[in-house]
Amino acid sequence: MSHSISAFQAAYIGIEVLIALVSVPGNVLVIWAVKVNQALRDATFCFIVSLAVADVAVGALVIPLAILINIGPQTYFYTCLMVACPVLILTQSSILALLAIAVDRYLRVKIPLRYKTVVTPRRAAVAIAGCWILSLVVGLTPMFGWNNLSQVEMAWAANGSAGEPVIKCEFEKVISMEYMVYFNFFVWVLPPLLLMVLIYLEVFYLIRKQLNKKVSASSGDPQKYYGKELKIAKSLALILFLFALSWLPLHILNCITLFCPTCRTPTILTYIAIFLTHGNSAMNPIVYAFRIQKFRVTFLKIWNDHFRCQPEPPSDEDPPEEKVDD
């Protein structure tokens, strides 16, 4: 059956496509930068790559599926459910990657001398794998039964229909709001976000404590180390702030839907909340480019080496280590 697309839907699709066209190349560039620059190979940047992979998938997979849901095709229940679940998996992966980054920065300032023996590449890889496995379990929970199938079947039978229900594919029609609020938000989104806030507050406290110590002739290196850590922590805390700013409005709207069934949420607010969640996947590469000089220099090198007609002449000087703009 053909679906006519309204002007509003066309505008929605146009904005979603624009977000995808920024998100996918930007995050591919992040992954590429870590691959070509040996200085971007520590644990933090490995977790950033995991976050970038999730953001690439948002642009390449979730946004096309969101456009499909917006058009509202007629599908079987579990087909629609499979279309709705990827965004849950990728959101959870992003949250756990951000949590891993926060813990990593905490360890760097709490145990700087033992950090490299505690946070090894093998342990970082295990942590990343664990984050993705846990994300799959949380995101696929609706496929295991916590969904709206019983309500859909009751409505299907009430209409005198038989067989597997065929529905207009919509997120709220297949995903239980109890799952979204009580399990997804109250267990797997809000507590990790609050924990990350506490971790970064502790990181800033520890760094300030070290920087406020009297500077002696022999303490130049520690001062430089903690100054660098402060700048990196500010940039990563900004990434966390943008994530919370992008995702909390949609979860708040979900809470309103569950706890106030008679409340009418303006459609435009829902669309703005959706744009924020998808747009977050395009924000991180911009933050890296403006705030972390290692990324900025590597981005420019990739551009000059692969996308300009004439490569930039090689420089004899290496970029300053992990410099971040204030």
| pLDDT band at residue 216 using 50, 70 and 90 as cut-offs | very low
| pLDDT band at residue 311 using 50, 70 and 90 as cut-offs | low
pTM of the complete model: 0.90
Task: Tell me the chain's radius of gyration from C-alpha atoms.
Answer: 23
Residue 13, pLDDT above cutoff 90? yes
What pLDDT score was predicted for residue 309? Answer: 64
- Residue 123 contacts by C-beta under 8 Å, 6 or more apart in sequence? none
Which DSSP symbol is given to 180?
A: I
All structural domains of the chain with their residue ranges: 7-303
- Strand locations in the chain (E): 74-76, 166-168
The predicted-structure confidence for 98-156, as pLDDT tens digits, reads as follows 999 999 999 999 999 999 999 999 999 999 999 999 999 999 999 999 999 999 999 99
Residue 266, classed as helix, strand or coil, is coil
Query: Selecting from 1.10.3720.10, 1.20.1070.10, 3.40.50.300, 3.40.630.40, what CATH number does the domain 7-303 have?
Result: 1.20.1070.10
Question: Exposed, middle or buried: residue 60 (CB in 10 Å: 0-12, 13-18, 19+)?
Answer: middle
Among 290, 291, 298, 295, residue whose Cα is nearest residue 315? 298
Report CA 115 to chain centroid distance, whole Å.
26
What pLDDT score was predicted for residue 308? Answer: 80
∠ CA 76-77-83, rounded to 5°: 95
**pLDDT average, residue stretch 198-227:** 80
**pLDDT average, residue stretch 52-79:** 94
